[in-house]
């Protein structure tokens, strides 16, 4: 296994996840915003990787105000 190649590939994947996730979240919030959204929204991402025993849930909060 090439550690450098793996590291770069993981970073590329995470950048894609971050950019895509931000775009999708912003679009969903704008589309839903009728003035009745709460001050914060709970968010959750579930990360799985096929071929290895990995499933992890990452919870967080998105503050709107």
How would residue 65 be classed by pLDDT, with cut points 50, 70 and 90?
confident
- Determine the 3-state secondary structure of 42 from DSSP: strand
As for how many domains the chain has, the answer is 1
Residues 12-38 pLDDT 10s: 999 999 999 999 999 999 999 778 899
> Which residues, 6 or more positions from 6, have their beta carbon under 8 angstroms from its beta carbon?
none
21 contacts 15 by C-beta, under 8 angstroms = no
Sign of CA dihedral 60, 61, 62, 63: negative
Rounded to two decimals, the pTM is 0.87
CA 33 to centroid of chain Cα atoms? 20
pLDDT at 33: 76
Q: Token pair for residue 40?
A: 């914060």
Q: How confident is residue 11, by pLDDT bands cut at 50, 70 and 90?
A: very high
Domain that holds residue 55: 3-63
């Amino acid at each position: 296994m090439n550690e450098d190649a793996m590291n770069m590939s993981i970073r590329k994947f995470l950048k894609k996840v971050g950019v895509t996730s931000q775009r999708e979240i912003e679009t969903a919030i704008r589309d839903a915003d009728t003035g009745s959204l709460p001050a914060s929204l709970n968010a959750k991402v579930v990360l799985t990787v096929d071929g290895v025993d990995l499933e992890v849930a990452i919870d967080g909060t998105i503050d709107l105000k």
